Amino acid sequence: MYPNSPNRGWNSLSRTQQIVVIVVGAVILYALLSGASSIGRLGNPNWIIAVAAIVFIAFPVHELAHAAMAVALGDPTPRLQGRYTLNPLAHIDPIGAVLILFTGFGWAKPVQWNPGNVTVDVRLAVILVALAGPVSNLILATISLFFLDKATNDLVSTFLFFFAQINVLLFVFNLLPVPPLDGSHVLFALLPGNTYELQLTLQRYGFLLLMVVIFMGGSFIYGIVQAIMQVLYGLVA
């Protein structure tokens, strides 16, 4: 939808982003060709394929879910901006994709929408639009675990496990109440009164807080992920 837009594709990236993509691509190529155990799961082709599936399938589904919910509530903004699509080029954020590869955490470009256009209570709309993305990851994880229970090939089973695990991780990660994650929008919508000053404060330090959570709270988050994985597998097994 907007195939000639200058804000899409390789030319839309900054020089730094292009370098990051090239370096990561080289690392991925090396990992796939060498299978070196010294580089950890980057040497596991199933991890690489699962990450690619996240970037090119799960991320677009996640962002389309946000867009579709906003459109369903009466706001045409995501459609007008070309975000009402499964086209990965409309959604991929290079830095978020890199983080997925190395940490399992990451993000796509956030969908913009206008609360002034919705036909329901604005706070309810904010919650529904924010939750639509993480819920889509949970659905993808459930589908993956359903097929994992039926899989007879070890390579397929490993891929499905990684794909489900990363989707559950994205579900948990995106619900953290830290800007710009979806959980922060839910938090601000639930808090009484005017939260504008609080939003400004958290947004100012949001990225720093996010990095602290990723590198210091990883074990706690992974514990939640494993618990959810067990529940989902119990439901579909």
DSSP-based three-state secondary structure for 103: helix
Residue 93, H or E segment? none
4, with CB counted inside 10 A (0-12, 13-18, 19+), is: exposed
User: Which residue in the block uniquely carries the two structure tokens 């030319």?
Assistant: 11
d(CA 22, CA 6): 21
d(CA 167, CA 135): 10
- The verdict on whether 197 is a catalytic residue reads no
Measure Cα distances from 148 to 31, 136, 159, 234, 235 in Å: 25, 18, 9, 12, 13
Choosing from 44, 55, 61, 63, the catalytic residue is 63
d(CA 43, CA 29): 10
Tell me which residues are annotated as active site. Answer: 63
